[in-house]
Amino acid sequence: MATVDFTYESFGEAVEKEGIVLVDFWASWCGPCRMFGPIFEAASERHADVVFGKVDTEAEQQLAAAAQIQSIPTLMAFRDGVAIFRHSGVLQGGELDNIIEQIKGLDMDEVRRQIAAEEAGE
C-alpha cells in the first residue's frame, strides 16, 4: 500500500478511524527524513492492513505545530483513534516492523482503561 499525504484538514479524520495509522512527519530538506522515507515506504508494502501517512512539516506547519513536532523525522502511531506511540529519529526497517507488530498485539480495552485511570488521577 502506498503512503497517503495528510493535510491539516484530513489528519483528524484519518487518525480517529478504527485500525492502525502511522504518520511520518518530515521535510524535504531533512537528511534523516530522506533516509527514513524509503524505510517507511517499504513497510507500507509489507503491512497492507496499516494506513501509512506522511505530513510535510513545511507545507503543513499548522498541523506540525498542533502535533507538537519539535524534531523530524517524527513517527506517530494511532490505533482505533488513540495515540499510542511517538518516536523522533530514524528507525530501521526491522525496528519499524517490530513496533507495528507490537501495536497490532495491543489489547485496546486495556489501553483505554489505563488512559482513563491516568486521567482520573490528574
Is 30 a residue of the active site? yes
Query: What pTM did the predictor assign?
Result: 0.92
Q: Which of 33, 63, 77, 96 is catalytic?
A: 33
Phi, psi for 90 (deg, rounded to 5)? -80, 135
Q: How far, in Å, CA of 85 to CA of 103, rounded?
A: 9
Q: What is the CA radius of gyration of the chain?
A: 14
Residue 1 is predicted with a pLDDT of 61
Alpha-carbon gap, residue 67 to 74, rounded angstroms: 10
- Model pLDDT, residue 77: 97
Picking from 22, 61, 20, the residue whose alpha carbon sits closest to that of residue 40 is 22
Residue 105 burial (CB count, 10 A): 7
Residue 25 annotated to the active site: no
Q: Which domain holds residue 22?
A: 4-121
Active-site residue, from 14, 30, 99, 111: 30
What stretches in the chain show pLDDT beneath 70? 1, 122
C-alpha cell recorded at residue 68: 507538537
Count of domains in the chain?
1
Q: What is the CATH number of the domain that holds 51?
A: 3.40.30.10
